[in-house]
Structure 1
Amino acid sequence: MQTRIAIIGSAEFFDRIQSVSHQVSNIELDGYIYQNPQEASQLLKQIKPCDVIFLSGTLPYLFTKKLHDQLPIPVVYLAQDEMTIASTLLAVLYHKNIPFERISIDLFDSSIVSNVLDAIDIETGPLHIMDYGNILLSELFKFDELVTFHHSLWKKGEIDLAITSVHAVYDQLFTLGVPVIRMADPKTTLIRGLQEAKAKAEYVKSQSAQVAVGYISVNSSNGEQRKSIDIFAHEIFATVQQRNDSLFVLYSTRGDIEALNPNDFSFLENQEIFIGFGYGATMKEAEKNALVALSFAEKNHHSCYILTENKDLLGPFPHSQKQQKLVNDHPDLYLIAQKAKLSPANLAKIIDFAKDSGWQHFTSADLADYLQVSRRTAERMIKKLVDHGYIQIVGEEMTYQQGRPRALYNLNIPIVF
């Protein structure tokens, strides 16, 4: 099956990447050509159906970044790297015999040049480099600063050649009569970029086609609830099976579920309906994950949870889209869980709670609300971790005039987990 790749870049970039495209099998390129990288955001809105978007560099990537989350397909870009800088400088030395001190360079990250020179143990005098990564990239961004940087150095007689990574800057400098070359990406870099784009597209396709099973639980089936379920199933192109008066099963794909937005779950807020979706490589795995997700939904009124094949729990929708991990495969955390006689999954959720709360002090009630368990269950978990020094008591909170003050705790486990 062909992978359709939309290329956004200059005409020169598109010609170069077309020249190597035959070395990557089963791809088809569509070109969207700009004169200036700032035009990339408009071109992004014009793209016809494809599998992945390939941007020619860091600038068009940053100019379009705010639109990426709205796209149903992946976006990749060709980043400047040491190979590109090294091959460009080598070509200048070999063909033009110009010392580094007589060259001006603009690029997104000037440290790349330093890395190349350090790697080959070359010492030079002060270099003329403009790092435009520090320039505010916005709709008001102008390339005049880059043009002025090179042009002024050339007029002062301080350089013999300008190297630019921006095609629009190259065109202006050429018009001004400044000796200039483009920073050319080696063929291997272009091929690697196409391979990455193809791999990303294939991965997203495989994920989207993954089996998704949904279990819907209702207190008592009635006409209004059944209508809401049928409308929801239609939105995700799912087939519906009714197991009994209070349980329905939906069969769909991961791609259709992930295409939903929070408003699609709004019908849950006014009805006693609970939904759990599960993803899996097989139908059996997806059904098992869906039942676990449903058990979380039934503890949280009017909600939907999703459990992935990696045991990442997403939800509750539509109120929140936080993520918890229901498994823990870190060997050190596994030892902690064994020592404290706590399940690895519960330990992982407690750590997620601490991260989500910004590692602030917490009470047993805070933890109980987060884990959707009783106060007593949360207190038992805390006690096990306190007994082994993994949670510390750091104070008390007196929020009421009567009753015992509530203990304040702090997690004492390294944050790298």
Structure 2
Amino acid sequence: VFDELDISKDSLFVKEYEGNYNLDSLVAFHYNLWKQGKVDFVLTSVEAVYVKLNELGVKSMHIIKPQKNISDALDRAIDQGKIRNSKKAQIVVGLVTIEDSSYSLHNAESELHHLPSMKAYQILKEFVKKINASLLQLEENQFILYATRGAIESITNGYSELPIVAEMEKSLEVSVSFGFGFGLTTKEAQENANIALYHSKNSVQGKAYVVTDKKVVIGPLDSQPQQYALRSMDEDILSISKKTGISVSNVSKIVEFLNFHNFNHFSANDLSDYLHLSKRSAERMLKKLLDHHLAQIVGEEQPYQKGRPRSIYKVNF
């Protein structure tokens, strides 16, 4: 409007916020500008701010939201609800493997060899009943289940837990790995389930992972689950990956780690604990970042009296 009327915007002062706001700070923003003579009039979309400014003698006006804006917002909310419901109906393939260290001690034809598998099938049958899913046994030690995204979100409490893993390991005295894959088709979901199962088997701390249709890895489900992307359209992440030779997924993990730590200084131990990697793997990644001037050593710490001190790092991206 100001552009079309050829009015200078130099004397405009805008305070933006995203839903959550502090009433006192908003009032102070406008009041201080008015008191300093920088503005003659205040427009605010927050009614409480308008009331307060009136009490302080500041000329102001409350911007009333047009009916169309309200109806448009409701339409968007309905659309989001439909999208959410359609996502909940999305196909999920779950792969489960059990590894019994005693298999090698038994004859392949013996009943003892089949016992963990039989028990696992019974436990999984009860599990799939709860989520209205179907279950098939692929091999002696591998099972596949078909469910919906909504069911998995519910049974895992929003991807934060999966008690059946501990239940099976305790009951069967075997190692159990779960991998859930989401997809628009069964084939895509099964490919993602295989990736999730790979992460489960290779994780130091967790036995259950999820890979979404967007190639986002979530897990481990029972140990402070994190999220990171296997693919990225972020030019910065792609550039760092290409420059250092660190995979896109690992660069994404490091970025998530930095966000988690508010970009503060950290040690290789901190990084390895967060990424569920060995300390050596974390140190290798950090060395690549150091070699390409994307990280620097800014100090040392020595948590124990004996042993070498640990380097403290700062990442420059």
Counterpart of 1:217 in 2: which secondary structure? strand
**Cα distance 1:283–1:133, how it changes in 2: closer, same or farther (>3 A)?**
farther
Equivalent in the alignment of 1:356? 260
2:139 aligned residue (233, 244, 247): 244
| TM-aligned CA deviation for residue 227 of structure 1 | 3.0
Identical-residue share of aligned pairs (%): 31
| TM-aligned CA deviation for residue 251 of structure 1 | 0.7
1:42-53 mapped onto 2 (5 Å cutoff): none
Equivalent in the alignment of 1:199? 79
Equivalent in the alignment of 2:30? none
In 1: Cα distance, 2:251 partner to 2:257 partner:
10
1:144-223 mapped onto 2 (5 Å cutoff): 185-186=66-67, 188-220=68-100, 221-223=116-118
| TM-aligned CA deviation for residue 393 of structure 1 | 0.7
Contact 2:264–2:314 (Cα < 8 Å) also in 1 = yes
**Cα distance 1:274–1:125, how it changes in 2: closer, same or farther (>3 A)?**
closer
| TM-aligned CA deviation for residue 355 of structure 1 | 1.6
Equivalent in the alignment of 2:295? 391
**Cα distance 1:342–1:189, how it changes in 2: closer, same or farther (>3 A)?**
same
In 2: Cα distance, 1:190 partner to 1:130 partner:
15
2:304 aligned residue (389, 392, 400): 400
Equivalent in the alignment of 1:260? 155
**Cα distance 1:184–1:233, how it changes in 2: closer, same or farther (>3 A)?**
same
Query: Structure 1, residues 85-138: CA drift from partner, whole Å, max 9, x if none?
Result: xxxxxxxxxxxxxxxxxxxxxxxx99xxxxxxxxxxxx976899984279xxxx
Equivalent in the alignment of 2:31? none
Alignment: residue pair count: 256
Equivalent in the alignment of 1:284? 187
Equivalent in the alignment of 2:35? none
Give me the CA root mean square deviation.
Answer: 3.5
Report the residue type matching 2:252 in the other structure.
A
| TM-aligned CA deviation for residue 306 of structure 1 | 0.9
Contact 1:274–1:301 (Cα < 8 Å) also in 2 = no
Equivalent in the alignment of 2:220? 316
**Cα distance 1:407–1:209, how it changes in 2: closer, same or farther (>3 A)?**
same
TM-score normalised over the length of structure 2: 0.69
In 2: Cα distance, 1:207 partner to 1:249 partner:
21
1:47-126 mapped onto 2 (5 Å cutoff): none
Counterpart of 1:218 in 2: which secondary structure? strand
Structure 1 runs not aligned, ≥5 long? 1-61, 66-108, 111-122, 135-145, 166-182
In 2: Cα distance, 1:184 partner to 1:308 partner:
38
Report the residue type matching 1:132 in the other structure.
A
Contact 2:44–2:62 (Cα < 8 Å) also in 1 = no
Counterpart of 1:192 in 2: which secondary structure? helix
TM-score normalised over the length of structure 1: 0.54
